Amino acid sequence: MKWLYQVFGISKQAYYQRQTASKKKDHDNQLVLEEVARIRKLMPFAGTRKLINYLKLFLTQNNIKMGRDALFNLLRNRGLLIRKTKQFHITTDSKHSFRKSPNLLENLDIQHAEQAFVSDITYIKTDQGHAYLALVTDAYSKKIMGWSFDDNMKVSMVKQALKMAHKNCRFNHKSIIHHSDRGKQYCCPDYTEFANKLGFVMSTTQKSDPYENAIAERINGILKYEFGLRKTLASVHLARKMIKEAVDIYNNLRIHWSIGLTTPENAHRQFNKHEYKSYKKHAA
């Protein structure tokens, strides 16, 4: 082997050090890939930027040095990068005679949890037909406060989601802004009177611009594209089960850039300890 060391111009000790380092790198990469697989079992569409934060403690505990670029290259070489696609399906019926409220979130500085909730409806495809998911999300912490799932878009569905959100409130507020699009479910007296009795002040978008309800639209997308809810599911029963699991993982495990790389549940508990980013220029 002496001639080999001479060819490469290195000592025997340096040669074996390189061999050891190479084996450690391969071993470390395998450990990281296994941990990424474990994370993606819960959050299948977690991208590199989120993964490197989820992996921090794991890397430290296993004495592995790996930055975002190295993780990106590792995932790319293994064909494990996430490609995002977009789909749109209109669920808003704003052609009605019900009163539309002003947009109270425009230029509003969101300073604490339970200052404003945003609501929206998104569709879920199943082999038994289309079903619908109503969500109520805290605009500050991004926590899903309430949800309801049904095979129709009746007012009872959105009322149920709001009732759950109200029940899950932690802080004693006299009123909370309730923001939504101009869909008839949110503007009809049956719903607005119900919301008012719970202490909500109504707010609606003024145009069809999705930025006017950007957080709600974003949360819809996260649940559908990161938790598998955009696929055609086998049954309504399975869809309900997946939604429940997705909301739990989203609230308690998924970190957000817009709340300082913490989870919605943690941000909500902190009440007003993170710097809130613009309502329109948000990043989840």
If you average pLDDT over residues 150-171, what whole number do you get? 95
281: confidence class by pLDDT, cuts 50, 70, 90: very low
Q: One-letter amino acid identity for 93?
A: D
Q: What is the pLDDT of residue 49?
A: 84
Evaluate whether 169 touches 145 at the Cβ level (below 8 Å): yes
pLDDT at 80 (0 to 100): 81
Q: Which CATH class is domain 116-270?
A: alpha beta
- Averaged pLDDT score across all residues of the chain: 84
Whole-number Å distance between alpha carbons of 96 and 263: 38
Percent of the chain with pLDDT over 90: 44
Q: Where does the pLDDT of residue 149 fall: very low under 50, low under 70, confident under 90, or very high at 90 and above?
A: very high
Instruction: Give the range with max mean pLDDT: 36-45, 169-178, 195-204, 225-234.
Output: 195-204
d(CA 159, CA 194) in angstroms, rounded, equals: 8
Q: Determine the average pLDDT of the residues in 123-150.
A: 96
Provide the β-strand partners of residue 134: 121, 148
Q: What is the pLDDT of residues 97-134, one digit of tens each?
A: 667 788 999 888 899 999 999 999 999 999 999 999 99
- Per domain, the residue ranges of the chain are 2-77, 116-270
pLDDT, tens only, 26-75: 888 888 888 888 888 888 778 888 888 889 889 999 999 989 899 989 88
Q: Which residues pair with 73 in a beta bridge?
A: none
Which of 46-55, 80-89, 194-203 is the least confident region? 80-89
Nearest alpha carbon to residue 120 among 132, 104, 107, 103: 132
